[in-house]
Structure 1
């Protein structure tokens, strides 16, 4: 498990910042996945520093509950991502601090792979979701991993990432056992913008991605040295973004 109360919470805001255009694209995409009725009560489970939480309130009319197990991450959300319709609460997927059938929409953005008990977490998701409600699950699939450009600098990174995520069939099995329905095939959405080599290096060197917590110091040092050299030599080279995987769940 990754300790977000340690080093990561201090670099996360800068290292995982979302351009306004990407945030807007995510919200338009999310709005298209749910019925048009508004307002909707939303749970942002694993909200971290609140990257999406205020935008979810603006998009769906609130209220939005941001639930996060890391005290340090949650404190940043409270201080820097406040919104009149947002309430932040400390809690985990294993024990969501909300009543039964209290949410119309649940937003799970790259969080399920951090859960200590995914089945229990999905059962909690079903418990707090209203009948007819929607779960937008942004995740990777262990058997369908993207080929990220920066993997070439860290030979073990792709293996580490693949090991973090369930395969699509494994995920579907857990979803069914939790009493939820996975709707069709994963959606692959183009959200993130093209980055230059230099911009990608500047972002990744902060090591705000949990992948880097599982790599040896020698591999990190060597990889970032090579990446820095290549970025300096070809700063404006564009590195295309890869599509993001989204699985819709219903109750």
Structure 2
């Protein structure tokens, strides 16, 4: 997997390219609510918070949240648009979380796990910062549980290149359980449609997915041209919803 440098490659367009509709956000927040304890407030960590896509919503639903983000530019954008008094953003990573031990009730990692360079260290660090029975919400793709969006077929190496970024589910689970965690839930969340296929094409043009960094520039251009031709034939066709995996783990 080629490492993505968000400070130079994606920070400018990430918020627009990865924005969620109100319905999509509501769907994810409902899934997180079902996976977390009912008591409020909960102290949260948004690990790999990026431009703050989820951080304010987490604070509004559950209680104060610290967004932890290694990319300076992504963190600056999140801070510039931060309005919620229960949100703060700090420099850090899953391997080096800038919060005291036992200070959080849960952590969210949304499409972040495949970017983590030292995964065993991150497993230990997440256990350090969570209280006993704290929960980790891990929304990550797995090589054997991988949603296949319609547009991926337009890149000849697309599926293989995308899957290569991810571990199989059993490897991730084994890594955590060997360190004393337990699985409390695994399933899929059906994220509502992104709109029309033309809407999705506009997002793809921003290249805000780490997938694009795994292909050669010529492959990316050829794939986008293929999508443009397909969309031109029926631009108002809906972009189908995706069923996306959510793994919930508990610190013992």
With normalisation by structure 2, the TM-score equals: 0.95
How big is the alpha-carbon RMSD for the aligned residues of Structure 1 and Structure 2? 1.2
The aligned counterpart of 1:221 is: 221
- Select between 137-146 and 33-42 the one with higher mean Cα deviation: 137-146
The aligned counterpart of 1:17 is: 19
Looking at structure 1, the residues matched to 197 and 96 of structure 2 have their Cα atoms a distance apart, in angstroms, of 41
Looking at structure 2, the residues matched to 250 and 200 of structure 1 have their Cα atoms a distance apart, in angstroms, of 35
Looking at structure 1, the residues matched to 180 and 91 of structure 2 have their Cα atoms a distance apart, in angstroms, of 25
Tell me the SS of whatever aligns to 1:183.
strand
With normalisation by structure 1, the TM-score equals: 0.96
C-alpha deviation, 1:151, in angstroms = 1.1
1:130-155 CA distance string (max 9 Å, x none): 00111111011112222221111111
1:223-242 equivalent positions in 2, closer than 5 A:
223-242=223-242
C-alpha distance 194-64 of structure 1, shift in aligned 2 (>3 A): closer
C-alpha deviation, 1:102, in angstroms = 0.5
Looking at structure 2, the residues matched to 111 and 27 of structure 1 have their Cα atoms a distance apart, in angstroms, of 17
The aligned counterpart of 1:36 is: 38
| 1:90 paired to 2:91 | yes
The aligned counterpart of 1:76 is: 77
Looking at structure 1, the residues matched to 221 and 108 of structure 2 have their Cα atoms a distance apart, in angstroms, of 35
Structure 1 runs (4+) greater than 4 angstroms displaced: none
CA contact (8 A) 2:28 2:189 kept: no
CA contact (8 A) 2:146 2:244 kept: no
* Gap runs ≥5 in structure 1: none
Tell me the SS of whatever aligns to 2:10.
helix
The aligned counterpart of 2:123 is: 122
C-alpha deviation, 1:178, in angstroms = 2.8
Question: How many correspondences in the alignment?
Answer: 249
Looking at structure 2, the residues matched to 178 and 74 of structure 1 have their Cα atoms a distance apart, in angstroms, of 30
The aligned counterpart of 1:46 is: 48
